[in-house]
Amino acid sequence: MSSPHDFDFFHGTWNVLHRRRTDFLDPGGEWEEFPGRSECRPLFDGAANIDEIDMPHLGAKGLTLRLFDPVREEWSLNWASSRSGTLFPPVFGRFEGETGTFHGDDTYDGKDVRVRFVWSGISAATARWEQAFSVDGGETWLTNWVMAFTRA
């Protein structure tokens, strides 16, 4: 069952190794890797947090606001990019055991996509985040971005 402290592990500063497809919808597309840095801080006594991730390779920064809904016992994850200056549609979900899975709807390159975020490999010193898109309503998924976090 999810709780307002599911993301407590993420508070602090992290080094990030990004691995992402150059085209998020091309299963045969190339991957690129680059470093980054992330810093997360708690809000609302742990029931929310905000992190900023610096991605010099992309010339951009990202921001995620995570909010826990105590009635639904689920999180909303809300992403913004310095490139657009707007919030993307949120993904919603929860942790079950050591893995957090979150889903939402968005568009990419003019196409409707189902979005999935998965948090896993969580320890005091490591965490893994991955993003996958589906163009068939969640029947099949294409992982297009993976971040490997190590405590700074």
Report the predicted TM-score, pTM, of the whole model to 2 decimal places. 0.95
Categorize the per-residue pLDDT at 70 as very low, low, confident or very high, splitting at 50, 70 and 90.
very high
**Percentage of the chain exceeding pLDDT 90:** 97
Q: Sign of torsion, CA 119 62 50 40? A: positive
- Residue 2 inside a domain? The answer is no
Domain count, the chain: 1
Tens digits of residue pLDDT in 81-107:
999 989 999 999 999 999 999 999 999
Strands 99-108 and 91-96: antiparallel
Query: Given a cut of 90, is residue 148 above it in pLDDT?
Result: yes
Categorize the per-residue pLDDT at 1 as very low, low, confident or very high, splitting at 50, 70 and 90.
confident
- Residue 21 inside a domain? The answer is yes
The range of the structural domain enclosing residue 66 comes to 8-151
- Residue 1 inside a domain? The answer is no
Task: Return the ∠ at Cα 123 (arms to 120 and 125), rounded to 5°.
Answer: 120
CATH classification at residue 136: 2.40.128.20
- Residue 3 inside a domain? The answer is no
